[in-house]
Structure 1
Amino acid sequence: MLNQTGGLNQTGGLSQTEGLSQTEGRFLTLHELVRAARAALHPNVWDYLVGGTETETTVRRNRAALDGWAFRPRVLRDVSRIDCTGRFPWGRFQGRSIRLPVILAPVGGLESLDFEKQGGTTVARGAAAFGVPFMASSVTQPGLEPIAAAADGPKVFQLYVRGDDAWVDDVVARAVAAGYDMFCLTVDTAVYSRRERDIARRFAKPWRATVQGSEQRHQAALSWREVARFKERHAIPLILKGIGTGEDAALACEHGVDVVYVSNHGGRQLDHGRGSLDVLPEVVEAVAGRAQVWMDGGVYRGTDLVKAVALGADLVGLGRLYCYGLAAAGAEGVVRALELLEVEAAECLGLLGATGFGQLDRACLAPARPVAEPHVHSAFPLLDTEYPPG
């Protein structure tokens, strides 16, 4: 099932790359991509990527929530063929298989991580090459239409509201015309947080420089009225990203939202928030099948992905993980990060006695005491261990 270089074979549902990329021989573990990204990036940009808000407690709680579950494996089951695929729910790709049940989450300023400076188009190409959806941020370059043109696969456009209703309508119309399958409003940025790594370095992010106070007020004023108006005026499926309670998940369903996206912005907005995986069961219960439930927050390993799906996530967002691949090796690095995640997920499924994500439920898990102090890279205990070449 697994080969020694970290590729997959004899498994179901893979794309034509069959687990191989041109970076296969260079990166055999995920922590090698993280290390290469750290070496490639300016310290200001590295701190932007890995940092959170203020004390970074929410960043740590994302990892603590994932580490707080252990597996309950079943044995003597035929796991000779493992299918790691998921399904994309809407648009031109409705019901089609995707290679993993993940989506590349929106990240601002991707061009600052990409040595080719193409940002969103580079990531879109990597996502399409591997076979998973990509969500383009409204604050990454080169913009809505060029990113859509590069995304030969399922794609979502994510918006920070910077104007009035007519302004939003215009952006939605452009997204529909460009071929985006879904539209996302981020709802956890009413106030922009104090990210102290950036402040301490006096790092002014270029993609924030043009945001004026009046424009931020439009995001701060976003309310359920605008959600209702969106559903009345636009046919494109709507995602609300940044849901953190069962109460708001229920309200989202009452407003006809298609996807309730559990997220705390990677720990970059509200400090001392709950870890996303701690929130997920509450939201799944509140939604009760009325919408899909997606989540992100600290997901770095195949075991993390398996845990999130077992607790009810229909799709799992990846943020920093694919950014490490982008910084390390461009589009090929994005593909390689996803390949290695796939290898880990397949291994985890097989050892649990499951042949696919559809066989997972909460019975696969048991509460457990974490064994490592959580931090942004606690999923990579070998990150700073040097090994001789060869």
Structure 2
Amino acid sequence: MSAIALIAAPRLLNVALGPDGFLTTETDGSRLKAGTTWVVGSRPADTCHGKFRDGAEAQDAIGDDKGKAFEGEDLMNEATRIPPAVELGASGEEFQNLHEFVRKARANLNQNCWDYIVGAAETETTMRRNRMALDEIAFRPRVLRNVTKVDPSVELFGRKLRLPVVLAPVGALELFDPGAAASVARGVGSFGAAHMLSSVSEPGLEKTAEAAPDALRMYQLYVRGGDAYVEDCVNRATACGYSAFCLTVDTAHYSRRERDIAKRYVRASRVRATGGDFQKGLEWRTVKLIKDKFKIPLVIKGIATAEDAAIALDHGVDWIYVSNHGGRQLDHGRGAMQVLPEVVAAVAGRAKIMVDGSFCRGTDIVKAIASGADLVGIGRLQCWALAAKGEAGIVRMLELLEDEVIRCLGLLGLTSFAELDKSYLHAASPTNLPSVFSAFPLLEIEPYRY
């Protein structure tokens, strides 16, 4: 039977985590064994439906990073189930809407891996504000213009990209696909976008470069050592053909990820992590060190104020990366698109600007570029696509984003990003409640279960 995830299924069975680590029913405390049908969560966007593998305990959904914890089981009537995606071969064409990656990823991932994608820090307020800030922007379209040919391409580091998109640095991509970052880099290279490799994602700096030598690659570092460590990382990135070097600066302390804490779950990569004190002690002197000793373009990721953007400019930083870590670090921060205008004003064209934070649609990309960004980072959507179909999923996701961007530009009366500016934007009230899924309302519409 086809594997499916009923993202918007009603609550069928209340479950909780027992003291022994097993899922138990809230009514009688009994363990859920193999073959138990279950639904977790009461909010539509937080639920899932499936059947545990033969011989698997319910604990697999809590403690196993590697395998898939459940198989979808068609136990609901036609009016309340999500139909499986049409299979059209190995190239990824079965995905016709971006939200279909979310559904397939949910079917493929256990609860821990799923929570890693959709979760954020503490109350998850910053994450929701990321989405709300995007949904508070409306368009002002112009009409009666010839938009027969729309070209959404841009140039980056002397190369042409089909979209102004970078697949943002995400740690532990190996949770979603065996090829991990290598699969992402190959997909990006095949499509013609950019990739920024996280220093805490497999298979590492050198092997990712070997897997996708022709892709436009950048390297992002969490500082886990002293000056010699940083210099070695820059040298290795340069030797492997990375086009830019990025320092992440918003992780002085690791945040409270309450979804994981509630399950008493710690990812293996967190157990192995060392050098946290170096990240806590990171200062502007490290930025100066890199700029003084190396010619590779430098990106600072995690800028959230005009003041820090100005200091970065004083240090000769080439790219300002507006980011709040997808809401996974400081809780109750502003949405990235609320921060972007003040950073754009402070930079005033003296550096390039990247931004990320719940960008999931082509319209989101257009809004960011119109607001002054040069490049848009895609994080969670990257993970869903990778978990759904690996490298082919990455390519197909980018194809769908490109299609949405082309249609958006054309409907605005534009033929390229060069014609776009903030005059095409207008403040508006959001229509969807902000959540990690609010870019995909079809996931929650009853009774159709798209």
In the TM superposition, what whole-angstrom CA distance separates every residue of 1:5-42 from its partner, at most 9, and x where no partner exists?
A: xxxxxxxxxxxxxxx99545411101111100111011
Aligned residue in 1 for 2:142 = 74
Cα deviation, residue 207, structure 1 = 1.6
**Aligned pairs (5 A) from 1:186-225:** 186-212=248-274, 215-225=275-285
Partners of 1:209 and 1:118 lie apart in 2 by 22
Partners of 1:202 and 1:82 lie apart in 2 by 50
Cα deviation, residue 202, structure 1 = 1.9
Cα deviation, residue 388, structure 1 = 8.9
Bigger proportion of residues as helix: 1
1:264 aligned residue (324, 344, 369): 324
Q: Give the counterpart letter for 1:60 in structure 2.
A: R
Aligned residue in 2 for 1:156 = 218
1:35 aligned residue (92, 96, 103): 103
**Aligned pairs (5 A) from 1:1-390:** 22-88=90-156, 94-114=157-177, 117-151=178-212, 152-212=214-274, 215-385=275-445
Cα deviation, residue 206, structure 1 = 1.6
Match of 1:382, SS?
helix
Cα deviation, residue 387, structure 1 = 5.2
Instruction: List 4+ stretches of structure 1 deviating above 2 A.
Output: 20-25, 384-389
Give the TM-score normalised by structure 2.
Answer: 0.78
Partners of 1:264 and 1:233 lie apart in 2 by 28
Match of 2:443, SS?
coil
Partners of 2:89 and 2:373 lie apart in 1 by 28
**Contact map agreement 1:322 1:338 (CA 8 A) in 2:** no
Partners of 1:144 and 1:269 lie apart in 2 by 24
Structure with more relative contact order (C-alpha pairs < 8 Å, separation 6 or more): 1
**Contact map agreement 2:92 2:392 (CA 8 A) in 1:** no
**Contact map agreement 1:21 1:336 (CA 8 A) in 2:** no
Aligned residue in 1 for 2:64 = none
Q: Give the counterpart letter for 2:265 in structure 1.
A: F
Aligned residue in 1 for 2:17 = none
**% same residue:** 58
**Contact map agreement 1:106 1:158 (CA 8 A) in 2:** yes
Cα deviation, residue 80, structure 1 = 0.3
**Contact map agreement 1:140 1:207 (CA 8 A) in 2:** no
Aligned residue in 2 for 1:91 = none
Partners of 1:55 and 1:333 lie apart in 2 by 31
Q: Give the counterpart letter for 1:142 in structure 2.
A: P
Match of 2:196, SS?
strand
Change in 2 beyond 3 A, CA 1:157/1:388 = closer
Give the TM-score normalised by structure 1.
Answer: 0.90
In the TM superposition, what whole-angstrom CA distance separates every residue of 1:153-189 from its partner, at most 9, and x where no partner exists?
A: 2100100000000111111111111111110000000
Cα deviation, residue 69, structure 1 = 0.7
Change in 2 beyond 3 A, CA 1:323/1:278 = same
Change in 2 beyond 3 A, CA 1:223/1:340 = same
In the TM superposition, what whole-angstrom CA distance separates every residue of 1:169-225 from its partner, at most 9, and x where no partner exists?
A: 11111111111111000000001000111111222112211123xx10101111111
* CA RMSD between the two structures: 1.5
**Structure 1 unmatched runs, 5+:** 1-19, 89-93
Partners of 1:207 and 1:118 lie apart in 2 by 16
Q: Give the counterpart letter for 2:163 in structure 1.
A: L
